[in-house]
């Protein structure tokens, strides 16, 4: 199946909400420069979203690009190697997209880590703050088997609040975090430090 490019270029239309290519002069990350460049190519910076002062990194063009998407999923799978985790936890919302593809490629399953109030059965929850506000994440209390090795995936690691809350949920639910994979890390926000000593794998670090 060939996807027709909608032909929208950064800078088309009114400025507000269009986005500009992210500034990654020498792209680097934990899977090497080529993978980092493949991510950077499809990231748009959206100023003042969702609130004034925040530059939002929009990865939806990366998900929509067939080569880009395949490239990043392959890089995550390759990094972790066979039999290094039992299940993939995807963080709502964009982490779901990555988790499903990684799980399919590795013959594992997906556990959704959801925003509060979305899961139908008994949950455990953890609240946290991020660049723009506070939120609560939940998993079903029986989401993980005891000792199950969990790969946690998301699109962006910024302050690390979201990932750290997920770490606590996995551990409280009886699992153990084998590692984190993100497509984009905002290194200046030092989220990685909050997750130490668990391994963090970022395809592009800005």
Ligand X SMILES: Nc1ncnc2[nH]cnc12
Ligand Y SMILES: O=P(O)(O)OC[C@H]1O[C@H](OP(=O)(O)OP(=O)(O)O)[C@H](O)[C@@H]1O
Interacting residues with ligand X (CB under 6 A): 54-57, 130-131, 156, 158
Residue 176 contact, options ligand X, ligand Y, none, Cβ 5-8 Å cut-off depending on partner type: none
Of the listed 131, 138, 185, 192, which one is catalytic? Answer: 131
Query: Residue 144: left if φ>0, alpha if ψ -120 to 50, beta else—which one?
Result: beta
Residues 6 or more apart whose Cβ sits within 8 Å of residue 13: none
Residue 91 contact, options ligand X, ligand Y, none, Cβ 5-8 Å cut-off depending on partner type: ligand Y
Q: If we measure between CA atoms, which residue out of 134, 110, 2 comes closest to residue 66?
A: 2
Kindly tell me which residue out of 27, 29, 68, 160 binds ligand Y, with binding defined by CB under 6 A: 160
Query: Does 92 engage in binding with ligand Y (CB under 6 A)?
Result: yes
Q: Of 2 and 49, which CB lies nearer to ligand Y in the complex structure? A: 49
Q: Of 76 and 130, which CB lies nearer to ligand Y in the complex structure? A: 130
Query: Does 91 engage in binding with ligand Y (CB under 6 A)?
Result: yes
d(CA 7, CA 12): 10
Q: Of 130 and 139, which CB lies nearer to ligand X in the complex structure? A: 130
Residue 161 contact, options ligand Y, ligand X, none, Cβ 5-8 Å cut-off depending on partner type: ligand Y
Alpha helix ranges (H) inside 30-121: 33-40, 60-64, 66-80, 94-106
- The DSSP H or E segment spanning 29 is none
Cα 147 to Cα 57, 77, 92, 182, 199, distances in angstroms: 34, 21, 23, 23, 17
94 is catalytic: yes
Structure tokens at 143: 């989401």
Query: Does 138 engage in binding with ligand Y (CB under 6 A)?
Result: no
Query: Does 139 engage in binding with ligand Y (CB under 6 A)?
Result: no
**Which positions touch ligand Y (CB under 6 A)?**
91-94, 130-131, 135, 154-163, 191
């Amino acid at each position: 199946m060939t996807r027709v490019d909608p032909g929208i270029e950064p800078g088309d239309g009114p400025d507000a909400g269009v986005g500009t290519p992210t500034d990654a002069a020498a792209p680097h990350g934990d899977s090497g420069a080529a993978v980092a460049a493949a991510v950077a190519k499809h990231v748009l910076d959206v100023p003042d979203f969702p609130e004034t002062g925040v530059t939002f990194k929009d990865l939806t063009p990366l998900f929509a690009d067939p080569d880009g998407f395949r490239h990043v999923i392959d890089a995550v799978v390759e990094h972790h190697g066979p039999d290094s985790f039992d299940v993939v936890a995807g963080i709502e919302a964009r982490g779901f997209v990555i988790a499903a593809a990684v799980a399919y490629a590795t013959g594992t399953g997906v556990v959704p880590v959801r925003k509060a109030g979305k899961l139908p059965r008994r949950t455990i929850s953890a609240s946290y703050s991020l660049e723009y506000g506070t939120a609560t994440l939940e998993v079903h209390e029986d989401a993980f088997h005891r000792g199950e090795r969990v790969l946690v995936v998301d699109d962006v690691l910024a302050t690390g609040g979201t990932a750290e809350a997920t770490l606590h949920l996995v551990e409280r639910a009886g699992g153990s975090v084998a590692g984190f994979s993100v497509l984009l890390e905002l290194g200046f926000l030092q989220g990685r430090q909050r997750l130490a000593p668990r391994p963090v794998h970022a395809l592009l670090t800005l």
